[in-house]
Amino acid sequence: MAYTDLKTIIKEKLEALKDDNENTLIKEVFIFDSNKPSGYPYATVVQSISEGEIIDNTRVERIYEISVKVFQEISEGGKSNEEAMELITILEDKIIDMFDNDRQLTVKGVPSCDRVDIVSVRKDYGTNESPYIILNFEVRCRKIINKTC
């Protein structure tokens, strides 16, 4: 399982998140940093850190840290600060549930990693053409790789 596969799997799982009325919650998900979305909220899934550790002569543990960021604009014509924060809080719960309910990033019954952990979650504010709230997730995907020496 390559790092790019994990990013794509997380992207697809984020795109599948729905609200209580079965509406898509995130308008667009990128597997690179982007500030040119077609709508809000949008998300990015990018690499933070990759590392590995030899367990024994036949196994290596690979650790991929992936940063997931969700952006929600605050504007007079769009969402107020209160509305944006309410949506970000709903997204936070949905994304935590997404990872908690699928600890191996399963695709068609096949696990993509041995375990995924949420390392941290935080909210920040930023500005581009207008202010926005950023929901930051750092996740760690662990994969044991069997190698023959």
**Domain with 88 in it: what CATH number?**
3.30.70.1700
pLDDT of 108-128, one tens digit each?
999 999 999 999 999 999 887
Number of structural domains (the chain) is 1
Partners of 115 in the β-ladder:
142
CB 137 within 8 A of CB 95: yes
pLDDT category of residue 98 using cuts at 50, 70 and 90:
very high
Q: Where are the alpha helices (DSSP H) in 73-141?
A: 81-100
With CA atoms as reference, report the closest residue to 29 among 45, 7, 48, 9: 45
How far apart are alpha carbons 31 and 47 in whole angstroms?
9
This prediction's pTM = 0.89
83 lies in which domain range?
3-146
